[in-house]
Amino acid sequence: MGIVDDAGTRVDELADGVYRISTPITSFPGGFTFNQFLIEDEQPLLFHTGPRRLFPLTAKGIRSVLPLERLRYVAFSHVEADECGALNELLAAAPLAEPVCSRVAKMTSIDDLADRPARALADGEGLALGRHTVSWRDAPHVPHGWDCGFLFEQTTRTLFCGDLFTQAGADHVPFAADVLEPSEAVRRGMDYFAHGRGTQEALERLAATGPGVLACMHGASWRGDGGGLLRALAQRLRADA
């Protein structure tokens, strides 16, 4: 059972030292969740900042695991309010923290938007945190954003897969039995995929990491054959092309 605060934000450990901070938003039709992921280690890393207006709740969630001031890296998939809207608030609260993003995001946006220069990771480049190591995977336009990419944590085999498998609803269960069909329902209703030429190749490269946990930004996460589920998503997208 995770920790649930009086605002509804829930913190659950998804894998060893990997925590999901999930805030439900009931004002959205049907409800929605914003999830941040914290890796507790010698050099802690947060993936997604959450929207700026949710910063107090995100900060409280981080503090339930470790002192916010210890945060060393603030990473995100691409430039969008829910991905990096609270970046400067986090940098102000954590004096040693630095943004981590793709080379494209650093070049086009973050070194202007952020109060500190970004640390850009090349495709496949690793970043040691202590007992955990993450590596960056470029995925331009998958599902959207030229600067898009994802982090893969090698020890727990957790893929922080951002907007892939976006699910509606304000349900905060840490893991769901199925995330493909609920996310496909969202995609059919609001097509947020860019339909880029490299989509199939990017999804196959993500699948080849062999993730055992898919840490989803909106909705529940998923545990199992993550590579197989990513290939199933690729097949759905191919059928719609």
The answer to whether 142 and 199 are in contact (CB under 8 A) is yes
pLDDT of residue 29: 85
Could you tell me the two tokens for 62? 């981080």
Dihedral class, residue 162 (left if φ above 0, else alpha if ψ from -120 to 50, else beta) = left
Reference 213, options 169, 160, 177, 164; nearest CA is: 160
Task: Write down the pLDDT at residue 18.
Answer: 98
> How big is the chain by its Cα radius of gyration, in Å?
16
Distance (Å, rounded) from C-alpha 56 to C-alpha 60?
6
Residue 26 sits in which domain range? 3-240
* Contact criterion met (CB below 8 Å) for 52 and 86: yes
pLDDT digits (tens, 9 = 90+) for 133-184: 999 999 999 999 999 999 999 999 999 999 999 999 997 789 999 999 999 9
Q: What is the pLDDT of residues 195-236, one digit of tens each?
A: 889 999 999 999 999 999 999 999 999 999 999 999 999 999
Residue 32's Cα: distance from chain center in Å? 15
Domain CATH code at residue 192: 3.60.15.10
Total number of domains in the chain: 1
Phi-psi region of 36 (alpha: psi -120 to 50; beta: other; left: phi over 0): beta
98 — phi, psi (to 5°)?
A: -135, 150
Residue type, 13: E
pLDDT tens by residue, 89-112: 999 999 999 999 999 999 999 999
